[in-house]
Amino acid sequence: MGKTDSIHSSDFIRQIIKEDLRTNKYNRVHTRFPPEPNGYLHIGHAKSICLNFSIAKEFGGLCNLRFDDTNPTKEQSEYIESIMKDVRWLGFDWEDRLFYASDYFDKLYDYAVQLIKDGNAYIDSLSAQEIREYRGTLTEAGRDSPYRNRSVEENLDLFKRMRAGEFEDGTCVLRAKIDMSSTNLNMRDPVMYRILHSTHHRTGDKWCIYPMYDFAHGQSDSIEGITHSLCTLEFEDHRLLYDWFIEQLKIHHSQQIEFARLNISHTILSKRKLLQLVEEKYVNGWNDPRMPTISGLRRRGYTSEAIRDFCERIGVAKTYTVVDIALLEHCIREDLNLRAPRVMAVLRPLKLVIDNYPENKVEELDAVNNPEDDSMGTRKIPFSRVLYIERDDFQEEPQKKWFRLAPGREVRLKHAYIIKCERVIKDETGEVIELHCTYDPETKSGCAKAERKVKGTLHWVSAGHSIKAEIRLYDYLFLKSNPDDVEEGSDFKANLNPSSLETLTSCRIEPSLADAKSGTRYQFLRLGYFCVDIDSSDEKLIFNRTVSLRDTWAKIQKAQK
Ligand code: ATP
Ligand code: MG
């Protein structure tokens, strides 16, 4: 297989696929990403998307996007739109292969009829509760339903009447006739169809019976000619059932392969729980920058490249793991370090007056946009007598090893001069509200004479030229590494971090950012990476902090070496 030679990474899934091609089990590779449109995609889905689309590409195959829309009771069109947008944004293309499980309802119905005719399925009139009771447990065999031996004719007639709408929801179901004593509970006559008098977003009121996920999923793969059906481990026990359906129906066999789902520390990856956070307003919608959704990460400032890089680094395996969220942060830092222009912004401004700088003088100083990349050029930043520095960069009574500003101390202002703090002005409460300094004109950055060294360098903006902005700082949404670790009687929301969002409304940014377009990313010197929010406007500039500069992942790596 010449076309597989270029595949470097060889996880167990790629190994299996290579082997399947070698033995001619399949002579092509066709995967799919099958989201249920009942929520927005999260970073866990990104792992599956990257895996499916990348494998298809590496093996010269195809990858479909298929909506698993077998459950009509959940609102869906908003989710469908967002899912398509997110997959595209991540950089993948399903071309003309967009499918819906609901496209196969007719075919699935025919398959069900075929199974009834072959004596492999029956209509059960037990209640849902009774079916559960008859099912048995892991240690106890199930019991046959009294309706299990209905004749083929009776079953066909009842199934037709189920479809025709003659019965109320819950009166009967279609079940596969397999083995009520199987050690695999999924094989104990699983339900294939249930009655739901409910309008479906695509098929409208055409159907009042709907296939169960377990009856739809494997057959949908088969219908689309999927060769390798990659899914997460919780479906391992279902594989036997999927294979059974396919064998009985004598249709194309897709090979299911399971891998461990992605878990990340301090993070919830369950649509059901994320929906709860949205509905109960713990966050501001699915795309809240604190959410682990693709749309949340995008709004926060993550790039698709960083997310793909993350998915590649975590790899695929079968064992349960929790990935440290520091790795995800490391990936975005690494990406933005090279790409984001470095500018100056002050989060909590403290006024600083340079007493020996002329009143009306303005200097346009040169600043490099990114020392990692000369091609990003330079820009001018205005320097004047009145500036803002970071409140946290001044201590009246400095702690040990304090290299920032304090009375009588010197620091360098980035791209500008060395200044010395001469005098402090306080308000009636004793709070420092203004610093008076002097500057040394001989120390201008970039000039030969600027050699004099001081230990601290601060960022700053010119008060008269800077622009006001709102800056939103984010912390982990959950305090505990495992948000599901709670005491009995409470749930994951007990671990929500009450300070996950801090909104600063009187920040000042350098004037070059006046026209910053939503989605643009910057490094604010010494503060982190920031991204212009989608709600930002000319009237009100809003930035989200994507990630701080401190790289705990790099530290972990170093400690391990
Ligand atoms: P959730 O538990 O968040 O509701 P789900 O598995 O029900 O997720 P689906 O829409 O059914 O969501 O998932 C689509 C695909 O994404 C499936 O193939 C599923 O296995 C995969 N997937 C979902 N969550 C993860 C995860 N955390 N890691 C890897 N793959 C995942
Ligand atoms: Mg699901």
Instruction: Please state, in angstroms and as integers, the Cα–Cα distance from residue 502 to each residue in 433, 473, 522, following that order.
Output: 22, 5, 19
Q: Quick one: how far is CA 270 from the chain centroid? A: 11
Superfamily for the 3-259 domain: HUPs (3.40.50.620)
Q: How confident is the model at residue 3 (pLDDT cuts 50, 70, 90)?
A: very low
Phi-psi region of 64 (alpha: psi -120 to 50; beta: other; left: phi over 0): beta
Neighbours of 72 (CB within 10 A): 20
Confidence check: pLDDT of 59 > 50: yes
Q: Whose CA is nearest to atom 25 of ligand 1?
A: 44
339-382 pLDDT tens trace: 999 999 999 999 999 999 999 999 999 999 999 999 999 999 99
Half-sphere exposure of 442 (CA within 13 A, CB side): 4
Cβ-Cβ contacts under 8 Å for 149 (sequence gap 6 or more): 122
Helices (H) and strands (E) in the chain, counts: 13, 25
Crossing angle for the helix pair 325-339 and 304-314, to the nearest 10 degrees: 140
Take residue 191 and report the two structure tokens written for it.
């339900």
Using the mean position of ligand 2's atoms as its centre, give its distance from the Cα of residue 74 in Å: 13
Query: Which stretches does DSSP call E strand in 186-324?
Result: 191-195, 209-211, 228-232, 255-259
Q: Which atom of ligand 1 is nearest to the CA of 263?
A: 27
Catalytic residue among 85, 107, 202, 261: 261
pLDDT of 269 strictly over 90? yes
Which ligand 1 atom minimizes the distance to the CA of 261?
28
Q: What is the CATH number of domain 342-560?
A: 2.40.240.10
Which residues share a beta bridge with 503?
Answer: 472
Q: Is 153 a catalytic residue?
A: no
What pLDDT does residue 2 have?
Answer: 38
Q: Residue 70 contacts by C-beta under 8 Å, 6 or more apart in sequence? A: 101, 102, 210, 211, 212, 213, 216
Residues 171-199 have pLDDT tens digits of 999 999 999 999 999 999 999 999 999 99
Helix intervals (H) in 146-210: 152-164
> For residue 210, how far is its CA from the centre of ligand 1 (angstroms)?
21
Burial zone of 440 (CB within 10 Å; 0-12 exposed, 13-18 middle, 19+ buried): middle
Residue range 531-538: average pLDDT?
A: 96
Residue owning the nearest CA to atom 26 of ligand 1: 44
Active site residue 150: no
What's the mean pLDDT when you consider all of the chain? 95
Give residue limits of the domains in the chain.
3-259, 342-560
Atom of ligand 1 nearest to the CA of 234: 20
Neighbours of ion ligand 2 (CB under 5 A): 36
Say how far apart CA 349 and CA 149 lie, in whole Å.
Answer: 80
Q: How far is CA 345 from the centre of its chain?
A: 28
Q: What is the pLDDT of residue 448?
A: 61
pLDDT value at residue 1: 35
Instruction: Report CA-CA distances (Å) from 57 to 18, 25, 281, 469.
Output: 14, 19, 40, 43
| Annotation marks residue 400 as catalytic | no
Cα 293 to ligand 1 centroid, rounded to whole Å: 12
Nearest-CA residue for atom 1 of ligand 1: 270
Q: Determine the pLDDT at residue 16.
A: 97
- List ligand 1's pocket residues with C-beta within 6 A: 34-36, 44-45, 47-48, 231-232, 261-262, 269-272
Q: What is the pLDDT of residues 296-317, one digit of tens each?
A: 999 999 999 999 999 999 999 9
Q: Which pLDDT does position 241 carry in this prediction? A: 98
Ligand 1 midpoint to CA 553 (Å) = 26
Angle, helices 43-58 vs 12-22, to 10°: value is: 30
- Residues 211-262: tens digit of each pLDDT: 999 999 999 999 999 999 999 999 999 999 999 999 999 999 999 999 999 9
CA distance 1 to 53: 20
How many whole angstroms from 315 Cα to the centroid of ligand 1?
Answer: 16
Between CA 547 and CA 300 the distance in angstroms is: 9
pLDDT of residue 4: 42
The C-alpha atoms of residue 195 and residue 209 are separated, in whole angstroms, by 4
Determine which one of 32, 271, 308, 508 is catalytic. 271
Q: What mean pLDDT comes out for the span 248-277?
A: 97
